[in-house]
Amino acid sequence: MSVHTEQMASRVEARLGGKVARRASLPADLLYDVAAGDLIEVARTLRDDADLRFEVLMDVSGIDYLDYGRSEWRTEAASSSGFGRAANRGGHGGAHEGPRFAVVYQLLSITHNERLTLRAGCIDNDEPMMDSVIGVWASANWFEREVFDLFGILFPGHPDLRRILTDYGFLGHPFRKDFPLVGNIEVRYDEQKQRVVYEPVEIVPRTLVPRVIRDDNRWSPDLKERSGG
């Protein structure tokens, strides 16, 4: 870590005390966890404190930690050997402990030429929520709409929380780890109705496995000699 970044880390921890927790990273950057209930207070301090001055919100993204740390996904037809991608081989460790959903904020201090990442975990896994930071950074408007659209995380206090990337009739949230790969609905143009129609997906979900290349006896050296090839 540079001396400049280390100095900023000291100032952040001095101003915010026990409201943020430093996370290790490679390279050593400014990454902090904050409780959902302290998010707005911490955000205002990061923006307004003269020694911090993180004036710009560069991005907001969501995270789904479902099955985080597992080497294979769950399936109804897992195999314990061979080339099955869903083989039950166990995980690599490092399973996530905490809420399933989280929101990550990428901050920039133009004044001090520093960047900071802030992560807050959503408390409710069934209907995840996070207070809107639009009152702190106006640029959060479309960012939070994108996170809502793709992850289904609600932002109380947002003035216009609606989908921004998917269609109006879209079902579900496509960046959730349990969202089916084939989706929930399919779209096609109906010649009789002369319009686009939405219908349930007819494709049966299945576990995809890599193609297995096996030796072919037709190309064996002995067979070639007998055939004069």
- Residue 218 has φ and ψ, to the nearest 5°, of -65, -20
For the chain, percent of residues with pLDDT exceeding 70:
76
Backbone angles phi, psi at 64, to 5 degrees: -115, 115
Q: Inform me whether the pLDDT recorded for 217 exceeds 70.
A: no
The tens digit of pLDDT for each residue in 69-104 reads 765 555 555 555 544 554 455 544 566 778 999 999
pLDDT in tens, 184-216: 788 889 999 999 888 888 766 665 555 555 555
Q: What is the rounded distance in angstroms from the CA atom of residue 95 to the CA atom of residue 7?
A: 32
Tell me what pLDDT residue 83 has: 47
Q: What per-residue confidence (pLDDT) applies to 2?
A: 82
Q: In this predicted structure, what is the pLDDT of residue 68?
A: 84
CB 171 within 8 A of CB 185: yes
pLDDT digits (tens, 9 = 90+) for 19-30: 999 988 777 789
Domain segments of the chain: what residues?
3-65+100-166
Reported as a single tens digit per residue, the pLDDT across 138-181 is 999 999 999 999 999 999 999 999 999 988 778 889 999 988 88
Q: 3-65+100-166 in CATH: which number?
A: 3.30.460.80
pLDDT of residue 204: 67
pTM: 0.77
Q: What integer pLDDT is reported at residue 180 of this predicted model?
A: 84
